[in-house]
Each structure stands twice: as C-alpha cells, then as structure tokens.
Amino acid sequence: MRLHILLVTNLLAVELMGCKAFICSLPRRLSHAVDVDAINYLLARNHVSLPNPKLRRFISVGDLFNHATTYHARNTNTRRLLGVNDDLLGTTSLVGNIQINVEKDNARQIRKERLHHHLNELGIDADLLEDAALRSVTTTDGFDPRFGKSAIKAYRSYIDPRPSKLEAVARENVEVSSNRYARQIDFLSKRHRSREAEWVRHTDTSDSRRIFPLVLVLDNVRSAANVGSIFRSADACGCLEILTTGITPHPQGNGAEKLAKSALGAERIVASRHFATTSQAMEFLRKERPRLQLVGMETTERSKSYASVKYPGPTLVSGNDDDPTSAPGVALFLGNEVSGVDMEILPLLDQVVEIPMFGKKNSLNVAACAPVVMYEVLRQWGV
C-alpha cells in the first residue's frame, strides 16, 4: 500500500506541474510485495510520453521494477558517501536523467551556499543563475541567454554531480572547489556574452586569407608548443610556407599531436615541409625561392636591429601582385631555444638581425620573437 500511495502521489504531482516526464518514487527499503496495480497505472498513463529513450525500454512491469531497485541501491550508496544518516534517507525521485533528493542533503546545501557566496563576490547573481539552471531542466525554454549553456551546466554539475562523481566531490575541500567552479562559471558566462556580441568577431575568416612571400625556417626548434605557436603566428601574418629541420616537431611527423594543441588548426592552413638538415632547407630556398632574402635571428657582433633593416618584397604602393612563390621576399631563420641558429649557417645568410634587449636576459622565447619581426616585415611592405 505504501508503494501504491507513493507512485500515485508522484504521478498526480507531475500531472499538476505539467511536466511530460517519467517519475518513479521508491521507499527506502523495498519489500518483495509490490503493488502491481500502481505500477501498471503508472505505465498506462506515462509510458507513451517518456522523454528519455532509455526509459522507453520498459515494456513490462518486471523491467520497471528491476530498474527501480537498481536505481534505489545506487542512490543509497551515493547518499552514504555523502554522510547522510540512513534514518533520513526517505524517498528519492528520478526525473529523466536528473536526480533530485527529497530529503535535505547537507553536503549539497553546503556546496550551494559556498558557490553562491563566491559567485556573488564575482558580481554574478547566484539566485538568477540557480533559477536559470532549474528552468533548463523543467521547461522547454532552453538555456537562459544571460548565462549560456556551458555556465548553466557547470553550475548544475557542481550542485548536483553525477553519481560517479559524488565520491570525488565529497573528498575535495568545499571552499577550494566552490571557488574554482565560481571562477569557471564566470569565465563561461563571459565567453558566452562575448560570442553573442555582434561587434566582437571570434570566427575564422579563412576565405579572406592573404599570402605574402614570407617563409619561416625553424632550425632544430625543440619545443612542440613553440612550433605550434609559430604556426599560428605564421597564419596570422600570411606566411607562404614554414620549413622545419632536424629535430623540429612538424605536422607530418614527430610531435604533430603536441604541436596541434598550440597551433589550433594553423598547422593545417600554413604549408610546410621538413628537411633532415638546415643546409638542405637552405639549398631548397636558393633553388626554388631565389628571390628571397635569407635573414637569421641571432645575437652576434654583426647583428642589426630588426627595425633598421630594409626587407625586400611587394608593396601596396608599387602595386606588386607577383605570385608569392616567385616574388621578392624574406626567409626568416629561427634557431634552437638554447643554441640558436646553426653556426655553420650564419655566415651564409644575407642578413642577421636581433631584437634589442633591455633586461638581464639575452633573448626572448623563439615563439615570441617570430611575430615581432614578421609584423615589421609586413609593415615595411605596406600591409
């Protein structure tokens, strides 16, 4: 009789709320005496409108009862992990895939209070966010545009984590985790608003990409992260090609996966080829790109400031529309993070340039140097 009352009561509550969802409530300790009439009534009234494909499997009373008992056992173990007294377990409801605790969950309440505290400190109306999170699962309105899908899902995942995550959440310091989630939610909501703003452009415009007679030669650059960043800068500057040599990670071979993390797709846009040695790359340039001036970036006695050198190439003033593969331009040699450009290569270059240093360190990171000189080259070309 108790099971019958619980099932019918919750069914009526769902109908009054207007929710087209499947709700099955279970007492704390199920007995073998199941009120079959109550379950049949529930199936007859709600089976046709089940929103969750997984729940549509229930074509018999036995299937429903087996699922219910499995869910009840899982929920009981979960609440024990949270430290909730067994005498207070009461009943639990299942709405689609969202688990709602009927009895007060102390651990959940503490997480919520601390998260709301940190959200309010960051200038986010926590009550509005909570309301938006609730409406995202109880109505068909979708996600509140003030916060966006990602921020709302992050809020829900912290307040009501999945059963598989509950143990990890319970072990973590609430003050630390709530502060971290608040900052994550703040970032996600700001990112959402930025993407929605019409006057801020965050989309790629590959169709409008221009290519200039500017080639980069990476001479045994060790770090895949640096190489990926250089690929991204090269794409931004419209580089014709990147030549990698020696141990340098490259898209066609070693280090491609790590390189891609910082390149963000630029390695698929900028053409590249790999050579066993830097000498081979230089021979290729002399033969296939004879109109390029070979410029090395290195701190030496013969180095000139990168801004004082005249870089040959096309200019908007002259209207030079030559094919970038045959037009005059620049091939910029960038060396290893520790040893720099190969000492045997330096004497063969047309120019050696440097970026003036005013601190104690003798150089900048290679990925930071590359765009500085590339944009100076483009500036001189009138781009």
Domains (range + CATH), the chain:
2-101 (no CATH), 106-196 (no CATH), 206-380 (3.40.1280.10)
Query: pLDDT band for position 77 (50/70/90)?
Result: low
pTM, 2 dp: 0.57
Query: pLDDT band for position 75 (50/70/90)?
Result: low
* pLDDT value at 10 more than 60: no
* pLDDT value at 20 more than 60: no
According to the model, what pLDDT value does residue 92 have?
Answer: 44
Query: pLDDT band for position 135 (50/70/90)?
Result: confident
Q: What is the mean pLDDT of residues 317-331?
A: 70
pLDDT tens, residue by residue, 170-208: 788 989 999 999 999 999 998 888 877 765 555 565 556
According to the model, what pLDDT value does residue 105 have?
Answer: 60
* pLDDT value at 101 more than 70: no
Query: pLDDT band for position 33 (50/70/90)?
Result: very low
Side-chain half-sphere CA neighbours of 287 within 13 A = 6
Round to whole Å and give the CA distance between 68 and 70. Answer: 5
According to the model, what pLDDT value does residue 70 have?
Answer: 52
